[in-house]
Structure formats: structure tokens, C-alpha cells
């Protein structure tokens, strides 16, 4: 039996007080298991989230949702890979919301992957289909069809599996599915042979639902 990789993407949600409450409730509901769990939060929460998880002795790793395409220097407002590495070991790159809302091109995404690798951050690279460009240095690929993100209408497990099979044949280590994943449908995806885990958005914001989703996977 494979052990699924479960990644939470909180997107632009939660204040520090809300994170404290989330961790408390999750601690009460969680059970020890062999699943790898990663929470990707906003930059402002990374430090406190890391400390809270450590204090509660939770088996959770930390990831960022983005990083600068540049190193340190005169890039006002940017958060670079070296800064993120103080708190996290993973980073989401190429999410369709950033491609759409911030016009991130393949060139920018390639620069971000390079920066992540330069500072020993593991990219979780999002694609929208089998033909999406994937830069060198990526080992974890997440298929997130745009129509399924936040809509409550996930892709079919069969189609996700087909995409996953093609991606795995290209030599990538891990393939995840993302898009309207919850406790009711997660097993349909993680039971597929080519799907190694899931990227969870809305369902991860509720610690009880997130715990149920982990257990159901």
C-alpha cells in the first residue's frame, strides 16, 4: 500500500489567530499515520505555523505558496528562496491562479524553479494538462485542471489517472491531483495507481474536514 502525499494550499486565507485555532482543533482530531502532510501558507504565517506545529509535535511539514524569481537584492516586495528556506522545505510553483492573475510565464516559472533548487526547496509544480511546460528540476507534479479549482466539480479519477500515467512515464517522481478534493472523493483519486497524493485547497481550511480527508485518503 502506498502512503499518499497530502498537500494543503491555504491560498490567501487565515490570520495568525485563525492559524492558532486551526492547529488546536487539528491536534484534537488528528491521528498518527504514515502519510506525508505538507501545509502551504502565506508568507506572513510561515514562522508562527512552524513554531505551532513543532510545539504540538505534529507530523506536518511546511511549504510556501510562491517565491521570488530573483535572489536577494533590490526587488521591493519580493520574498526570496533563501528567506523561505528558514521556515519551509517546499514551495508551490505554477498554480493556475498565479498564471492567470499575475501573468506568470514559462520563463518566470523556470526562474522560480531554479531559485527553489538553488536553496534546496522542493518545488510542487502545478500543471493544467499533459501539454503544460514543466521546467528542469521538478520532481513533484500536480495536475490541477482550471475548471475544478474551487468549483466543487473535480475532474474524474479516470482522467486524472490518464494524465498521471503520461506524466510518470516522463520520469517525474510524484504525481498529485488537485481541484475540489475533499473527504468524500479523495480515495477515488489516491487509489489510482499513478496518483501519489493530492493538493487540497478549500477542504484544508477546516481542520476537521482536513483531518477527515487525510484519514479517508
Cα(47)–Cα(22) distance, integer angstroms: 15
130: left (phi over 0), alpha (psi -120 to 50) or beta: alpha
Backbone angles phi, psi at 61, to 5 degrees: -100, 160
Write out the H or E segment, with its range, that includes residue 140: strand 140-143
Q: What does each C-alpha distance from 133 to 61, 111, 125, 193 come to in angstroms?
A: 27, 13, 10, 23
> Per the residue annotation, which of 95, 104, 122, 161 is the catalytic one?
95
Residue 187: Cβ-neighbour burial (10 angstroms; 0-12, 13-18, 19+): middle
**Is residue 95 flagged as an active site residue?**
yes
Angle between helix axes 46-55 and 16-29 (nearest 10 degrees) is 30
> Per the residue annotation, which of 104, 122, 144, 161 is the catalytic one?
144
**Is residue 55 flagged as an active site residue?**
no
Active site members: 95, 144
Amino acid at each position: 500500500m502506498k502512503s499518499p502525499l497530502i498537500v494543503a494550499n491555504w491560498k490567501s486565507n487565515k490570520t495568525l489567530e485563525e492559524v492558532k485555532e486551526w492547529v488546536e482543533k487539528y491536534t484534537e482530531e488528528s491521528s498518527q499515520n504514515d502519510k506525508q502532510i505538507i501545509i502551504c501558507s502565506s508568507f506572513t504565517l510561515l514562522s508562527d505555523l512552524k513554531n505551532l506545529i513543532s510545539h504540538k509535535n505534529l507530523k506536518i511539514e511546511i511549504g510556501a505558496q510562491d517565491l521570488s524569481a530573483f535572489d536577494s537584492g533590490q526587488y521591493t516586495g519580493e520574498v526570496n528562496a533563501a528567506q523561505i528556506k528558514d521556515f519551509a522545505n517546499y514551495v508551490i510553483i505554477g498554480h493556475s491562479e498565479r498564471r492567470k492573475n499575475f501573468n506568470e510565464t514559462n520563463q518566470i516559472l523556470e526562474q522560480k524553479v531554479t531559485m527553489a533548487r538553488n536553496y534546496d526547496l522542493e518545488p510542487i509544480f502545478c500543471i493544467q494538462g499533459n501539454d503544460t511546460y514543466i521546467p528542469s528540476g521538478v520532481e513533484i507534479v500536480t495536475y490541477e485542471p482550471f475548471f475544478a479549482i474551487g468549483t466543487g466539480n473535480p475532474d474524474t479519477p479516470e482522467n486524472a489517472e490518464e494524465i498521471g500515467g503520461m506524466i510518470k512515464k516522463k520520469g517525474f517522481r510524484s504525481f498529485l491531483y488537485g481541484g475540489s478534493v475533499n473527504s468524500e472523493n479523495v480515495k477515488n483519486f489516491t487509489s489510482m495507481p499513478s496518483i501519489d497524493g493530492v493538493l487540497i485547497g478549500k477542504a484544508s481550511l477546516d481542520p476537521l474536514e482536513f483531518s477527515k480527508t487525510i484519514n479517508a485518503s
